[in-house]
Amino acid sequence: NALMEEHRECSRVLTKFEVEQSEIAQLDLPPTEFVGYSATRTEANVLHHDADKVVLDTTPFYAEAGGQVGDTGSIEGANFEFEVTETRKSEEVAIHFGSFKTEGRPRRGEPATAQVNVERRRGITRNHTATHLLQWALREVLGKHVKQSGSHVGPQRLRFDFTHFEALTPGQLREVELLVNRRIMEDEPVSFCELPYTEALEGGAIAIFEEKYADQVRMVEVGDYSKELCGGTHVERTGEIIVFHILSEGSIKAGVRRIEAQTGKTAIDYLSTIAGNYHELLHLLKATDTGEAKDRIEKLLEKEKELDKSKESQIRKKAAKTADILTSNLKQEGGLKYLYSFQEGAGRKELSTMADRFRAMEEPVVVCLVSDKKGAVSVVVGASEAAVSRFGFDSGSFAKEAGKLLGGSGGGRADFAQAGGTDASDVEGVERAFLDALKRCAAGK
């Protein structure tokens, strides 16, 4: 429900933006001159504004596109200050969304200073160039069939979707990460040029198949190994990325995988936390290195398995002993023996083991065992083969009924079924329903 509401909110925001796009288009404003490739601060003139947006003739703010998020920052004039929280495009017009921090408002044509949040932009550029290095590394490790199928580049992390038919092994992930970090350490130049689209493709540049490109395109080249058509902002040298670390890899749909990663200070902080946890783990395990820690963890896991086996054996023995005692409490209804028993604090496994003892009997026997453990009510129903074949008792049908009475659910086979819920107010109702079901079966109804 929470995710659905989040989706609805996103849809509402998109619809609102589409309306605003239409409003901006009706103003017939000239295309915004973007100077953000070389500047993060510029002088500009205000062309339009309302309560939550400002349009300038020139801007250093990158408008969300190609998977890269829009810039944030500020726009200031003689008597106003506007905080930019998002930048988007309507056709060729950049729209700065945000709020005025002062009562003053700009006049059309009034000069203003536009300033991008530089620290945030650096994080974005590091992550964007890293996606180019990542695509190159994936193609080196996995093969040239790898193609970008989507991305999201923000200041804190990057997400890269690519075509591939199976999960990457830990070894492949390490190799990809190592290749990217080697290129970062080599501090190679990142260059940009504009050229005809066909010429760029003939020169080996990678383009996104679904993307629509103009006749003249911008190509980003890293060293002599990566060429991509891209309109985003990038670092000038790979060394500015500092470090690259993969956070996760997984499938998002058939034939498409997703890698999430971090760079720069964000990655360093994350790795520092991981290192701290690692040393704390060594201390807890009283180990000196990874090998020793691994051995001790394996021994602990083996010991835990043995304890689980021992515990399960004890549960079985206790359940069998309880079942033997309860056998003397069996009652009879028209040739059908039965037992209803409330076992305070018993777990479902214990109830199931007890029910199995009665199910194995040759005579027609049906048992309903109930427990209330930490606010959760469990019901286990068992019927011997004779009870099912001769009297038609259906444990599964009764378990469904019991589950509803307990505010939960239930079901199973004719000879064995389970139910559960968190409403213990009508446990007695379960007993009444069980006895009614027995009487119907005994009477052949």
pLDDT in tens, 43-81: 999 999 999 999 999 999 999 998 999 999 999 999 999
Q: Which pLDDT score is estimated for 37?
A: 96
Residue 312: predicted pLDDT: 75
Q: What is the pLDDT of residue 143?
A: 96
CB 141 within 8 A of CB 179: yes
Rounded CA gap, 224 and 222, in Å? 6
Q: Which helix (H) or strand (E) holds 258?
A: strand 256-263
- Plot region of 120 (φ>0 → left; ψ -120 to 50 → alpha; else → beta): alpha
Number of CB atoms found within 10 A of residue 324's CB: 11
- Would you report the helix, strand and coil content of the chain in percent, each value rounded to 5? 40, 30, 30
Distance (Å) of CA 235 to CA 42, 305, 348, 440:
19, 52, 59, 79
Instruction: Quote the Cα angle for 418-329-369, to 5°.
Output: 15
List of the chain residues with pLDDT < 70? 10-22, 25, 209-210, 445
The β-bridge relationship of strands 190-196 and 58-59 is: unpaired
- Whether the CB-CB separation of 216 and 194 falls below 8 Å is answered with yes
In single-letter form, the type of residue at position 408 comes to G
- Rounded-to-integer distance, Cα 13 and Cα 5, Å: 12
Res 16: pLDDT: 62
The pLDDT value recorded for residue 173 is 97
Residue 3: the pLDDT is: 78
Question: Do the bridges between strand 33-34 and strand 58-59 make them parallel or antiparallel, or are there none, so unpaired?
Answer: parallel
Q: How far apart are the first and last CA of the chain?
A: 43
